[in-house]
Amino acid sequence: MLKLNTICLTLLIILSLPAFAQQGTLIGKLTNHKSQPIDGASIRIAATTKGTLTDKNGLFFFKSLPYGRYTIHISAVGYKTKELQINLQEKLENSLNIALTENPNTLAEVQIQGKTVARKIKETGFNVNVIETKRFANTNTDINQILNRSTGIRIRQQGGLGSNYSFSLNGLSGDHVKFFIDGIPIESYGSGMSFNNMPVNLAERIEVYKGVVPAHLGSDALGGAINIVTNRDKVKFIDASYSYGSFNTHRAALSAGRKFNKSGLNLNVNTYYNYSNNDYRMRTNPKANIYLEVPSKTVPNQLDTIRSARRFHDNYESFMTQVELGVHNKKYADIAVVGLTFNQVNNQVQTGATQEKVIGGIQHSSNSFTPSIRYRKEHFLLKNLSASLFSNFSTSKSIITDTSSINYYYWDGSTFGLSKTQGELNVKSIRHQKINNSFSQVNLNYQLRPQHVFALNYNLKTNDREEYNEIDPYNDTFNKTNRITQHIVGLNYQQILLKGRLNNSFFLKRYTLAGNSTANDNNSNREARSYTGYGAATNYRIIRHGGVKLSYEHAYRLPSFTELFGNGIEVIGNPNLEPANSDNYNLGLYYKFHLKDHAFSVEASTFYRNAKNYIITTRYSDAERNYSYSRNEGGIKVNGADFEIKYDYKGLLQAMVNMSYYNAVDRARFVEGTNREKITYNSRTPNEPWLFGNADISTGFNNLFGTKHTRLQFNYYLQFVNNYSLSWSKLGDKRTKDYIPEQWLHNLAISYSLKQNKYHITVEGHNLSNEIAYDVFKQQRPGRSIFVKLRYSLQSFK
Amino acid sequence: MSIKLKKHIKVAALLACTAISISSCNKTDKPNDPAPIDDKDPKYAISYSTKNGSFMLPISDLMKGTISPIGTGTDVSSIFTWEENRIQKGKYFYHLDPNASKFGKYVLENGIVQIIKAIPLNTLSNLYLGWHSWLDEETLAFGPRSSNEYTIVNVKDMTIKASGKIDTGKDVPKDHQLNLYTFLPQGNKILIGYSLYNKLNKVTYDTTYTATLDYPTFNNFKITGKDLRSNPIGPLRNGYFHKFKENGYTYLLTYPMPVLGGNKPNMPTGFFRIKDGETKLDPEYFFNVSKLRNGDNQLGVEYLGNGKALLISANDATTNVKEFDDWWYAVMWEYLIVDINTQTIVKKLDFPLVSNSRSAIVDNGKVYIAVNDPKADAIYIWQYDPIKDQLTRGAKIVGGDNDTPMLFKLK
């Protein structure tokens, strides 16, 4: 790692060489009518390419400005635009104090707040993508589809709406990436809460932390974390939408909030409903070595290949509603609310792990109830101490029914074989699972000085699970009970130095895991373990709009209780299991510039991960018995890079292009516990896309054809995934290798907005060229599809 | 978008990414390059599992070089999904896929495994095979473990010729089931060896039965003999060597051990024999191998000719087998050469105790064994020359795990 550190340091030194300043400097401060600083306002000097944004103290400055007369444009969302004439002269104090007046007709507060939070996050040294979801609000997308456009992220989904997915972030995937909603781990909301069905309209922004995760997201994330920040605690806000489209897909979402200032009450509602038949066409595709074989209708006991068939057992339905009621701006609390979340998912299962296994009878349904409380107070006990608290308890029930007597289904819906005892995946069962989760979180923030902030975070998670088979309740195979408790303490210190140019964070995380398992023979197991993780992140702004970010974390993924101690039945415990750990490094560069009316923003980053002691679960199956056992094994080394370029022309045309690349290789030279060299040593890990990118172009026109307060917006979005191998690409003769072909998916959306962005109608086409695209284990994705979305939105702060 | 343009974009993007990517780990030596393989016309093949899938590789020379799946062979993990269900004849391989209920014909040619044809197979209620038997060059019979079902397939055109349950008439009570372990074609008769399972109390009796049936009608079931010396008369799982012909006799190895066999821990492993044309076991002959090995059980590996057979023998299973899995993975096996005429152990091959194995090939009077010693840096092929009584280490097979490697002679 010495090499990496040296390179980083050299880069830092080179980039920090001082720029020559030979001319005058203009310094200014921007405030509102209450003399409070305005953060994030745009300051542009007319007839030049120079522009800047104010910092959180409302300050801005221009260096190297030749003396002379200038016109300065000042604009901030929520304020009236202002123009100023100045004369920059030698020996004069070239500093300005400018006050802006609020514009009551705009949505000032929220937008400034949103921008501020997003910018504050970006100003830390973390390698983070902050996606403001506003621009996707009119589209028929869920959170996953938006994340898929972001650098470093690849979501591989098995099929249509609601289908299983696998998330990869900079080459680390599965359990190694953790998900949060408003800083709360998603699993604490019970089963069914998932990014694959959550409509975009519920989220205000999405934060993607790559490799290095701040301490306030208290979880064991080895490869990074995703945090969805929802709309809430607004004065008056409503966003309602409904869309209908291909495969009989219906999606409705409502997100609303209201603060009653007189009574101090406030109410937040988030709800959605999704339904789809997902009956898109599956196709034979010799290019990908896919053939849909069905029993011949003419010759008995033979198979015929058909060109295509519709999926026939893939209905999906999900419903979620979350209501929060409470008070705000009281002496004892800035916000104190109680909430209730309900979630229901019903879905049919169409395939096994690969599309060769067709399923026609298995159903899955689950629901969960989650009551919660949330409290926040600035100046808690001390003047500079703020506190927030969250706690919830979820009860989830899920039922998987596998009682079809039919042994095999084919893609044309025909069947084959009957069995009295066998279901499609295992012996016939109606498997009930009951999971209780509790989660509590306390955050304390102490600001010693504005430049020095300490944060302490404590998370307590408990999880217990019971299972049984309704058909055969006395069969112990499905009976198990176990309970796990997880404590995570995080400590973060943030310092802002050199007048805001240097932003450092240092953090420490302590994980403790304790558990208790009771098997059918009433034997109990109790154990506890602790581990410590740590890291740091720094952002150094070298020039006005450009800088460098560095971050590091020694991160953990803890073994689960079942992995450690077994469940007494088919999972054999391994008490010697160590947590998987990874040393994650990020180096990022960012730069923004204007060329007349053309604004560019460039971000590029490179990263290295050294993930050791991967927890691998091996499944042994036999006609007599099925069981699994987890062990530590090798791990991977990943290095890679990504970049994103954004372009804006006078706010009329926006374009974005990004590309991500990584190389994840097996890092262990020998098979664990032997002196046998691994055949995959230093080879790229299979079944994961390693080169992918996105391009996005938007343009819009206001008040077309003489209409008032309308806007027509076009968006074209291209998704590219390079081909990749299903198995270790070096192993086996090249002629036998199966690749997932490269994909170029074209998507188009046209939106028409009326009455000052209150009403919207959008027509959207996905996969316009009807390309046969595949994902995880070569599961075919939907072909061309069309959706229409209607949306009503209103925000007011009065 | 044109293909050319797409390529340019990809190359440019890759370059851009690579340019800012930092290679921060030291390059380490690549694994040894494998020896070149004459994959046009391989004479042998090996199939073995690794941590990263099962591979079938052609071998042109058993005694030299390194055999590695890097760049050669076929990943057969999704082709031969249940290894015990694979049946070989020359360069052709047949496999019943229990997950897809398909019976497929494959060929290993030009160094790779290719599918010839697959048919749906719905004639068996259990798709984990217990036995197979060639009725002639193109007719294959097979059936599930511990079952009275059979299916006969013409493998030339891949059609199902016959299938059903063996009709025992009134000779077996209705609450009992015949479980078949030996299936021997004898002219227009089929001679079967079986055990009897009591469905009421779920007990399999110790008696080994023989019976005859008419072929191809499968009528006229007649019990021809009973024997209590060992049971069952054949392996529980398909793919284990258990019969050979010599000097007018068919020799049949019994499989009484738990897990890998019929679970009769108190019975010995040994050879029965049947004279050609006879319909019952030779009452005068039983070669009790277990008795010579302190009561431990054996598995069949290969017939070597001249009355010799290669077996693999558990060493002190009572101590070494602590759990179910140990029957497969405990390092407790030794190779024995036995003489069925003198009923003696001719030789214990000079290897340390190794992992379970059941595969060897015989070529030009020499036997080649894929020996999986977990302490060694790889699986090695060893040649045993019975005339010179000499063991020689041959080709190295890299990447194998603790499962049994299988060797095949393709011509």
Which of A323-327, B30-34, B315-319, B364-368 has the least mean pLDDT?
B30-34
Give bridge partners of residue A616 from the DSSP assignment. A631
Q: What is the pLDDT of residues B92-117, one digit of tens each?
A: 999 999 888 899 999 999 999 999 99
B79 → chain A, closest CA residue: A736
B398 near A CB under 8 A: yes
Picking from A610, A625, A676, the nearest residue to B378 by CB comes out as A676
Region A781-795 average pLDDT: 90
Subunit contact B119:A625, Cβ cutoff 8 A:
no
- Tell me if A302 and B10 make a contact (CB, 8 A cut-off): no
Assigned domain for A5 exists: no
Asked if residue A10 belongs to a domain, the reply is no
Task: Give how far Cα A489 sits from Cα of A461, A561, A615, Å.
Answer: 12, 19, 23
Query: In Å, how far is A678's CA from the nearest CA of chain B?
Result: 6
Q: Is the pLDDT of residue A11 over 70?
A: no
Q: Which of A271-285, A317-331, A603-617, B196-210 has the lowest mean pLDDT?
A: A603-617
Report the SS3 class of residue A126.
Answer: coil
Nearest Cα neighbor of A54 from A42, A72, A70 is A42
Of A72, A104, A136, the domain-final residue: A104
Pick from B311, B228, B240: nearest CA to B267: B228
Whether residue A197 is predicted with pLDDT greater than 90 in this model: the reply is: no
Spatial CB neighbours of B44, under 8 Å, sequence gap ≥ 6: B58, B59, B60, B62, B361, B368, B407, B408, B409, B410
Give the Cβ contact number of residue A322 at 10 Å: 23
**Are residue A405 and residue A516 in the same domain, yes or no?**
yes
Q: What is the mean pLDDT of residues A757-767?
A: 91
Sort residue A148 into left (φ over 0), alpha (ψ -120 to 50) or beta: alpha
* Partners of residue A302 in chain B, C-beta under 8 Å: 119-120
Of B1, B120, B128, nearest to A295 by CB-CB distance is B120
Selected residue with higher pLDDT from A702 and B162:
B162
Rounded to two decimals, the ipTM of the complex is 0.81
If asked whether residues A625 and A642 sit together in one domain, one would say yes
CA distances from B169 to B144, B146, B194, B217, B279 (A): 21, 19, 15, 14, 19
Say whether the peptide bond before residue B232 is cis (omega within 30 degrees of 0).
Answer: yes
Pair B231, B252: CB distance under 8 Å:
no
Whether residue A42 is found in the same domain as residue A146: no
Residue A510 maps to a domain: yes
pLDDT at B170: 87
- Inter-chain residue contact B28 with A608, CB threshold 8 Å: no
Q: Is A563 helix (H, G, I), strand (E, B) or coil?
A: helix
Give the pairing of strands A774-775 and A236-245: unpaired
Tell if the CB–CB gap between B377 and A669 is shorter than 8 Å. no
Instruction: State the pLDDT at residue A77.
Output: 67
Q: What share of chain A in percent tops pLDDT 90?
A: 35
Residue B339 touches chain A, beta carbons under 8 Å = no
Rounded to an integer, the average pLDDT of A523-547 is 84
What pLDDT is stored for residue A186 in this prediction? 87
Distance from CA of B342 to the nearest CA of A (A): 38
Write out chain A residues lying below 8 Å of B14, CB-based. 661, 691
Interface check B122 vs A, CB under 8 A: yes
Cβ within 8 Å, pair B72-A682: no
- In this prediction, residue B20 carries a pLDDT of 43
Please report residues of A whose CB lies closer than 8 A to that of B21.
606, 639-641, 661
The answer to whether residues A666 and A680 touch, using CB atoms and an 8 Å cutoff, is yes
Residues of A in contact with B10 (CB under 8 A): 691, 720, 722
Which residue, chain included where needed, has tokens 């008696």? Answer: B207
pLDDT band at A587 (very low <50, low <70, confident <90, very high): very high
Residue A636: which CATH number?
2.40.170.20
pLDDT of residue A3: 47
Residues A457, A343 within the same domain: yes
Region A207-216: mean pLDDT is: 89
Task: Inform me whether the C-beta atom of residue B52 falls under 8 Å from chain A C-beta atoms.
Answer: yes
Contact A731 B70 (CB under 8 A): yes
DSSP letter assigned to residue A639: E
Secondary structure of residue B299 in the 3-state scheme: strand
Residue A6 in domain: no
Q: Are residues A285 and A336 in the same domain?
A: yes
Same domain, A233 and A381: yes
Cβ separation A641–B20 shorter than 8 A: yes
- A8 domain residue, yes or no: no
Q: Does B374 touch chain A (CB under 8 A)?
A: yes
A99 and A122 co-located in one domain: no
Mark which residues 216-255 of B lie under 8 Å from A by CB. none
- A352 is a domain residue: yes
Let me know whether A64 and A129 are in one domain.
no
Residue A620: list chain B partners with CB under 8 A. Answer: 325
Among residues A50, A79, A104, the one where a domain terminates is A104
Q: In the predicted model, what is the mean pLDDT of residues A691-696? A: 94
pLDDT at B1: 45
d(CA A685, CA A166): 15
- CATH code for the domain of A99: 2.60.40.1120
- Beta strands (DSSP E) in A403-479 are 406-409, 415-418, 429-449, 452-469
| Alpha-carbon gap, residue B377 to B382, rounded angstroms | 15
> What is the C-alpha separation between A588 and A584, in angstroms, rounded?
13
Same domain, A76 and A193: no
Which range of residues forms the domain containing residue A528? 111-796
Tell me if A11 is assigned to some domain.
no
- Give the range among A275-279, A454-458, A544-548, B405-409 with minimum mean pLDDT: A544-548
Question: Last residue of some domain: A81, A104, A127?
Answer: A104
| pLDDT tens, residue by residue, A73-84 | 787 766 777 777
Nearest CB to B68: which of A585, A660, A679?
A: A679
Cβ-based contacts of A697 with chain B (< 8 Å): none
* Interface contact A677-B74, CB threshold 8 A: no
Instruction: Say yes or no for a CB contact (<8 Å) between B120 and A606.
Output: no
Distance CA B292, CA B287 (A): 10
Q: How far, in Å, are A64, A316, A524, A766 from residue A145 at the CA level?
A: 44, 17, 44, 11
Output the pLDDT for position A500. Answer: 82
Is pLDDT at A54 greater than 70 in this prediction? yes
Residue of A15, A287, A301 to mutate for B, most B C-beta atoms under 10 A = A301
Test B74 with A733 for CB contact under 8 angstroms.
yes
A661 and A539 part of one domain: yes
Mean pLDDT to the nearest integer, B120-127: 89
**Which is higher by pLDDT, B308 or A34?**
B308
**Chain B residues near residue A733 by CB distance under 8 angstroms:** 39, 71-74, 111-112
Asked if B222 and B234 count as a contact pair (C-beta separation under 8 A), the reply is no
Residues A442 and A365 in one domain: yes
Paired sense of beta strands A779-780 and B344-348, if any:
unpaired
- Centre a 10 Å sphere on the Cβ of residue A14 and count the other Cβ atoms it contains: 10
Position A477 pLDDT exceeds 60:
no
| Structural domains counted in chain A | 2
CB A772 within 8 A of CB A743: no
| pLDDT tier at B311, thresholds 50, 70, 90 | very high
Residue A477 has phi, psi (to 5 degrees) of -50, -35
pLDDT at B41: 73
The most confident of the ranges A542-556, B29-43, B144-158 is: B144-158
Instruction: Report how far residue A688's alpha carbon sits from residue A776's, in angstroms, rounded to the nearest whole number.
Output: 8
Residue A415 and residue A521 in one domain:
yes
Mean model confidence pLDDT for chain A: 83
What pLDDT band is residue A49 in, cutting at 50, 70 and 90? low
Q: What residues have CB less than 8 Å from A299, skipping those under 6 apart?
A: none
Angstroms from A670 CA to nearest CA on chain B: 9
A450 found inside a domain: yes
Annotate A118-149 with b (16+ C-beta within 10 A) or e (fewer).
beebbbbbbbbbbbebeebbbbbbbbbbbbbb
Measure the CA–CA gap between A402 and A360, rounded to whole angstroms.
Answer: 10
The whole-number average pLDDT for the span A651-677 is 89
Average pLDDT over residues B244-263: 93
> Who wins on pLDDT, B28 or A483?
A483
